Amino acid sequence: MTPDDAVSALAAVPRLLIALDFDGTLAPLQDEPMASRMTPQAADAVAALARAPETTVAFVSGRSLRDLRVIAEHDDDSPILLAGSHGAEQWPTDAEATADGEAEALRDELSARAEEAAGTHDGAWIERKGFGFALHTRLAPPDAARAAGQEVDAIMTERAPAWRRRTGHDILEFSFRDEGKDVAVARLRALTQASAVLFAGDDVTDEDALRSLGPGDVGVRVGPGETAAAVRVGDITELAEMLVHLARERTLARQ
């Protein structure tokens, strides 16, 4: 399916949900994760879709909800729905979701041990999250990245083998919550009563959502890599162009 075919298929559906990964899909990957922001073209496309009739836009991210709101420049008046921590957090339904004390204590212990391990390898560092932590190796030489990953994996195999393990672009993430982006999309579909869903993402963790899509839905892969998506675009700019086209066609279909 081409991007134009996808637009044609979705332009006239009664109620459309546009669910979008953020980093690598709307915003270029950054060495400093909190510096991430949508490109101007992507921001314009999101705004156009948010104005389109019977269309809801949501960001579905592995970021914590708090961090996602910062990088998405999202305030309480925004029409954009959010699913953070791979779907374990949602806005506005449960923005204050918390973990239980025992799980939080183990998270803190394991995050500290992982920080100690990562600290011995140049360019590797740990990001603490509400439901776990992530090892970042974007700035690490290949040997250091591999060694850091092995050491953190060993810690988790010993102390928390049941935690969910995810890999992505220069990231290794662990969480005691099992939700994935497929769960996030299902919840958003039910909340918005969507007739169809477009989901777009660029990384391995987005494949859960892409595989969960059904007849009438459209999955979009941004960039290279094996995928369950029916549509592939080369980069953020090409995705933004497709989304602007879709917003225009949905508006015209209802005039």
Question: Under a CB-based contact definition with an 8 Å cutoff, are residues 136 and 181 in contact?
Answer: no
How much is the pLDDT for 96? 47
User: For residue 255, is pLDDT > 80?
Assistant: no
User: For residue 95, is pLDDT > 50?
Assistant: no
What is the band of 70 on the pLDDT scale with cuts at 50, 70, 90?
very high
Shared domain check, 208 and 140? no
Shared domain check, 61 and 13? yes
Shared domain check, 118 and 61? no
User: pLDDT digit string (tens) for 129-162?
Assistant: 889 999 999 999 999 999 999 999 999 999 999 9
What is the band of 201 on the pLDDT scale with cuts at 50, 70, 90?
very high
Question: Under a CB-based contact definition with an 8 Å cutoff, are residues 82 and 58 in contact?
Answer: yes
Shared domain check, 81 and 7? yes
Shared domain check, 128 and 54? no
User: For residue 22, is pLDDT > 70?
Assistant: yes
Shared domain check, 84 and 56? yes
Is pTM beyond 0.95 here?
Answer: no
Question: Of 175, 195, 212, at which residue does a domain stop?
Answer: 175
> What is the number of structural domains in the chain?
2
Write the secondary structure of the chain as one string of H (helix), E (strand) and C (coil).
Answer: CCHHHHHHHHCCCCCEEEEECCECCCECCCCCHHHCCCCHHHHHHHHHHHHCCCEEEEEECCCCHHHHHHHCCCCCCCCCEEEEHHHCEEECCCCCCCCCHHHHHHHHHHHHHHHHHHCCCCCCEEEEECCEEEEECCCCCHHHHHHHHHHHHHHHHHHCCCCEEEEECCEEEEECCCCCHHHHHHHHHHHHCCCEEEEEECCHHHHHHHHHCCCCCEEEEECCCCCCCCEEECCHHHHHHHHHHHHHHHHHHCC
Structural domain harbouring 23: 3-96+179-253
Shared domain check, 192 and 69? yes
How much is the pLDDT for 100? 74
Shared domain check, 184 and 92? yes
What is the band of 32 on the pLDDT scale with cuts at 50, 70, 90?
confident
